[in-house]
Amino acid sequence: MAKYFDVHPDNPQARSISQIADSVRSGSLIAYPTDSCYALGCQLGSRDGIDRIRGIRHLDDRHHFTLMCRDFAQLGQFVRVDNDVFRAVKASTPGSYTFILPATREVPRKLLHPKKKTVGVRIPDHVVTQALLAELGEPLLSSTLLLPDEEEPLTQGWEIKDRLDHQVDAVVDSGECGTEPTTVIDFSGGEAEIVRRGAGDTSRFE
């Protein structure tokens, strides 16, 4: 049965954030809100967490996982960003964008796209997520909480607790969050390629 954390959206309780971070460090899979919609998250090197996310979402090995990063400095440890891409990414963060970029050696091989050696990264504009990332001190391995054969991601903490009670270890609820997944931009080929149109404005990448 999943633990349920009711976290204040503007002033997250330090004790709750600390407990959630400890849970992640101990190998837990959590459902948590972001500025776009809910996501599944686990510790960066958790093979069990990766397998559980794939199982819940029915994902194959070509799926791009996302590293939810606290800031640009942290993002730069895990992906290679040239000058032109740097400016484009910097101008769009924090926000509802996921960027696919060549991974550095800091990224576990199990997370990489098998052919491209790329990974998704993003910096969220969400108070609770940022508090959790600050407490963790490392990125949170994430994937949009979109269940198989459903067109819309889950957006309510109580519903996630009800439906995934025995598949996740904790649910973080801080009230309403976004209902639309991030916009995904692939920069791995040097030019911006819009992979998914979502919550972020795509005009600057057209």
- DSSP secondary structure string for all residues of 11-45: S--HHHHHHHHHHHHTT--EEEE-SSSEEEEEETT
Can you give the pLDDT at residue 167? 97
Q: Is the pTM of this model over 0.85?
A: yes
Query: How far is it, in rounded angstroms, from Cα 100 to Cα 119?
Result: 6
What is the phi/psi pair of residue 139, to 5°?
-65, 155
Mention the CATH class of domain 3-205: alpha beta
Residue 46 CB contacts under 8 Å (≥ 6 apart), including other chains: 27, 29, 141
CB of 68 closer than 8 Å to CB of 34: yes
Task: Give the separation between CA 111 and CA 52, rounded to whole angstroms.
Answer: 13
Residue pointed to by tokens 């730069």: 76
With a pLDDT cut of 90, the percent of the chain lying above it is 77
* 126-136 residue pLDDT tens: 999 999 999 99
Of the candidate ranges 3-12, 132-141, 175-184, the one whose mean pLDDT is the lowest: 175-184
179: pLDDT strictly greater than 90: no
Lowest mean pLDDT among 10-19, 41-50, 103-112, 194-203: 103-112
pLDDT at 84: 85
Closest CA to 164 of 179, 156, 45: 156
